[in-house]
Structure 1
């Protein structure tokens, strides 16, 4: 598959996608979002891929939705605003339901639509000096990729309102402190840390991780009582259990 605005690579069982419009700080154009959706659909169905990393090329993860490209698309007729909104929400669904744990590596600017995209992921590692923010109110645009629902669930409603009302970004280090990202590290260690986390995940049962990911995601949408019922009633086949038990016995 040939892409224009993203790069897809493999390191054994790890898939790595780079947002690749560095001249625009990886602003999310309709084409980039469409390509990202396509790549995620392919990776989701690839049983040889066990972990996904997504990062930004150049100086930023992403400056957010490319408003210039959006305006041009409305004039030229090649894309519509509805299409990028739908594609973004489909990306959220794919990342939520794909069996692979998906890790976002965030550095430089990560604003608005990019922050919404970041929150689609299972795990997030940020550079300490990353700038993460919500500027919807700065441009008079309402969130449509889940900012108003995901952000307060991660950081609490008071902090979410502060970020959205002031439009001031926070650092990667602050994002770790308030629970918006899993961890923050120096920029030069960002990719290394992501690969290390991916390799830690690879040491465990991919099928069990996929099942646990499903249970976490389903349980977060309901009450504790309903979530416990989901866990109790959930049945799936784990076929790699014997392999891991044998490895345990061998290493005792």
Structure 2
């Protein structure tokens, strides 16, 4: 495992085939700032530039994954916060979308509270591994706020409109097990096993075709955003394009020869 490298609001490390990002404002429950958002963008760009990196993992330092936007920083402006709030949400939304569209599989290793903007960050991840004592909540309504990082759009698509509306209106915090049943959390593990369990998922992904995983991400995104007939047509189009790849031919050859495939991501 490589040593941790500190940026201003996060620390990063290479762990096997994964690029791990640790949100690193534990005294503020890893609340989101513009600085943290920009560090996250730099981290995803750095990870994508390294062909040996096969997955991008986000976790928190301390007792929270991320408790949302840093409201204290916004309050510090005084007077009207319309302009700084709009600027913050535009930048945050851009970075979250950048993470969501990464060619890499993005995993959230949720180690504690994932609230408001923290939940919105989780919603942009492909796979969510959660400690069994983690808690999730939209929480915006508790302070008279509205979701501004895409949560009002992504949460209903992930867990259904009825459950999402309930969570957004009540601000209730719910367990990892409940979010697993709702369809947001992929795996729930003991807190002490979170890192190792997440890394085990990374190693499973690292054995797959990187190009194949890119297309699986694409197909999953299409599934949540189109009518059935269009989705089926696009599925065939993507498979048709992938059929010309080395990795598909290598996978079929490996199956026929009863050996492990050697994927190249092309």
The TM-score normalised by the length of structure 2 is: 0.86
Gapped regions of structure 1 (runs ≥ 5): none
Deviation at 1:229, TM superposition (A): 1.6
Pairwise CA distance, 1:31: 0.9
**Quick check: 1:101–1:122 contact (8 Å CA) kept in 2?**
yes
Residue in 2 that maps onto 1:7: 11
Query: 1 CA distance for matches of 2:63 and 2:219?
Result: 36
Say which of 27, 32, 40 aligns to 2:31: 27
| Residue of structure 2 aligned with 1:141, choices 142, 145, 150 | 145
**Partner residue of 2:126?**
122
Tell me, yes or no, if structure 1 residue 239 matches structure 2 residue 254.
no
TM-superposed deviation, 1:245: 4.7
Match of 2:50 among 33, 46, 59: 46
Q: CA deviation at 1:98?
A: 1.5
Note the alpha carbon deviations across 1:125-175, whole angstroms, 9 max, x for none. Answer: 111111110111111111111111211122222211221121110011111
**CA spacing shift, 1:80–1:46, aligned 2, 3 Å:** farther
Q: How many residues align?
A: 250
Q: Which moved further from structure 2: 234-243 or 22-31?
A: 234-243
What 5-or-longer segments of structure 2 have no aligned partner?
Answer: 261-266
1:74, 1:81 within 8 Å by CA — same for their partners in 2?
A: no
- 2:161 counterpart residue number: 157
The CA deviation at 1:186 is: 1.2
Mapping of 1:1-252 within 5 angstroms? 3-72=7-76, 80-234=84-238, 235-236=241-242, 238-245=245-252, 247-248=254-255, 249-251=257-259
Deviation at residue 238 of structure 1 after TM alignment: 2.7
Change (3 A) 1:46 1:81: farther
**Alpha-carbon shift at residue 246 of structure 1 (Å):** 5.2
- Residues 40 and 95 in structure 1, CA contact (< 8 A), matched pair in contact too: yes
| Alpha-carbon RMSD | 2.2
- Range with greater deviation from structure 2 (149-158 or 184-193): 149-158
Q: Look up the SS of the partner of 1:240 in the other structure.
A: helix
State the secondary structure of the residue aligned to 2:66.
coil
**Structure 1 residue 239: deviation in Å?**
2.9
Worse overlay, 199-208 or 233-242? 233-242
Asked if structure 1 preserves the Cα contact closer than 8 Å seen for 2:32 and 2:68, the reply is yes
